[in-house]
Amino acid sequence: MKLIVTGGAGFIGSNFVFYQRKHHPEDDIICLDALTYAGNLETLEPVMNDPKFKFVKGDIADRKLVYDLFEAEKPDYIVNFAAESHVDRSIENPEVFLRTNVMGTQVLLDACRKYGIKRYHQVSTDEVYGDLPLDRPDLYFTETTPIHTSSPYSASKAAADLLVLAYHRTFKLPVTVSRCSNNYGPYHFPEKLIPLMISRALADESLPVYGTGENIRDWLYVEDHCAAIDLILRKGTDGEVYNIGGHNERTNLEVVKTILRQLDKPESLITYVRDRPGHDMRYAIDPTKIHNELGWLPATKFDDGIRQTVEWYLSNRPWWEHILAGEYQNYYERMYAGR
């Protein structure tokens, strides 16, 4: 098959590209990425010379570029990871989130209608469901949980999900949607919680924790997420939503303390900062549907995954140090100068 993977230079998208090359080496992959702040072409260096892989720099909201790409490549499947995804940034500037996450999704869907595809898959988030109370550990998000967004980011992702499902109902477009819990693992952009804490702890800098750190997230190792998406893409049912959860609930404070133990750093590095507006308290996903229908279960326990993640960051310091220094943004020019 031939896949277009949008946002493939980002954290989850790049891991999905690596997963596909490992498990389906016969498939062709075209990565479309605008290389905005979280898109890092250095991440894709291991596959840049792979004859079954092609990188295209471009914005999913650029209709002409997307249509030209579909016309030239004639893809079988589309997996849309491309999104502005940082909640704090969405609070500062909601407009860019609407352009990429909603209008960009519409352009991709229109291209699928025009040129035809076997399946369009939308990668979404559990944040579209809002949050759960801390005192009700028995409650979980299911695919029928009402959408109840808390930030411009989650609202833009919810709008995109609804648009995807509407294109299925109205135009019979073959689509699937997945909503995942918080991912972690290799190539995670350093402004996110886990890599931020790792890099700051290594530098013996303070570790800022929102509020009291009691907010709970369900952590999903990124390779497990990629395996789930691959199953949905190949065996999922058109028009369906699948929740992908890790069964690894931890408070933010527990996560930070785990990282400090892994690095043998003191808890005195932790500092508590003013909470952000509309901060969701608890996310927890029930992945029963994807387990029953497709046989998927998360394979990585949090303690194992966080140890592997810390070890990866220790072994790949140049990757995240280039990001912190801003050098990663020049990689595209270095790669393609004179081509």
Catalytically annotated residues: 126-127, 153
Starting at the edge strand found earlier in the chain, the sheet holding 240-244 runs 53-57, 28-33, 2-6, 77-80, 119-125, 175-180, 240-244
Token readout for 53 is 């892989």
Per the DSSP assignment, residues forming a β-bridge with 221 are 184
**Of 301, 289, 213, 312, which Cα lies nearest the Cα of 257?**
213
**Of 153, 165, 174, 19, which Cα lies nearest the Cα of 89?**
153
β-pairing verdict for 175-180 and 207-210:
unpaired
